Structure 1
Amino acid sequence: MRRTKTGLALAALLLALQPRATLAASDPAAGDAAAARPIVAEHCATCHQVPGLEARFAKARVTAPAFQAIADDPAKYPEAQLRAFLQKPHFPMGSLILSPSDIDNIVAFIASLRGKAE
């Protein structure tokens, strides 16, 4: 009986902590948009049009969505999908591996653009 109560208490504790951990991981505010800017400039702006980094954008060569379009259409580009996409290297990024904090920062950067289309 005591073992069952301990197990139930542990399960309840884990369930109580779960929503907070999920919310923190999916909260764009968890990232630092300013910290993402150098990464975005170096690795993203060649293929994705990024406000303020237009000079790096190779318009004729790519069909990647603009960061503003990604920011303004969260139904088409949900945060979970962005995070999953950023966790895996993709063409033409090759072997670029982003840290979890880099991913948080890039998601925050994209979220900071929402509603700011010129």
Structure 2
Amino acid sequence: MSRTIWIRVTATVLIIAAVLFLIRLHNAAGEVSSLGSEPTAGRRLAQAMCSECHTVEPNARRAGRTAPDFVAVANLPSTTTLALNVFLRSSHRNMPNFILAPDDADRIVAYIMSLKRN
């Protein structure tokens, strides 16, 4: 192959790689910006799955709950979106091992993070 063909093939591969990278960045940005509507769905999921042990709603106190309420969890200094995602996808001794779909976990995390006080 001549040098011109190699240059064209290399340029084509680089352009394709750049386009795929930009598409991936665009999709990732869309995922982050779509979390604005997730807290409502996350609250519903948390009510259905977590309210047996946790107080899910702010300003709702239930006697006899030993698990921390979601407002307290949200306001821990160590609580971040990443930390909550890791926590929800890990097994725990003193918690039921729910298997959450990734979207459901993201929604619950978005809800908990919406409870964080600035």
- Compute the RMSD of aligned alpha carbons: 2.9
8 Å Cα contact 1:31-1:106 kept in structure 2: no
TM-score, with length taken from structure 2: 0.67
> Within 2, Cα distance between the matches of 1:28 and 1:76?
24
8 Å Cα contact 2:80-2:113 kept in structure 1: no
For structure 1, list consecutive stretches of 5 or more residues without a partner in the other structure: none
Aligned to 2:106: 104
Count of aligned positions? 110
For structure 2, list consecutive stretches of 5 or more residues without a partner in the other structure: 1-6
In structure 2, the CA distance between the partners of 1:47 and 1:8, relative to structure 1 (3 Å rule), is same
Q: Quote how far apart the aligned CAs of 1:43 are.
A: 2.3
Same amino acid, percent of matched pairs: 30
Q: Runs of 4 or more off by more than 6 Å in structure 1?
A: none
In structure 2, the CA distance between the partners of 1:103 and 1:27, relative to structure 1 (3 Å rule), is farther
Q: 1:39 aligns with which of 42, 45, 58?
A: 45
Is residue 66 from structure 1 mapped to residue 73 from structure 2 by the alignment? no
Largest Rg, 1 or 2:
2
Aligned to 1:8: 14
> Within 2, Cα distance between the matches of 1:14 and 1:111?
31
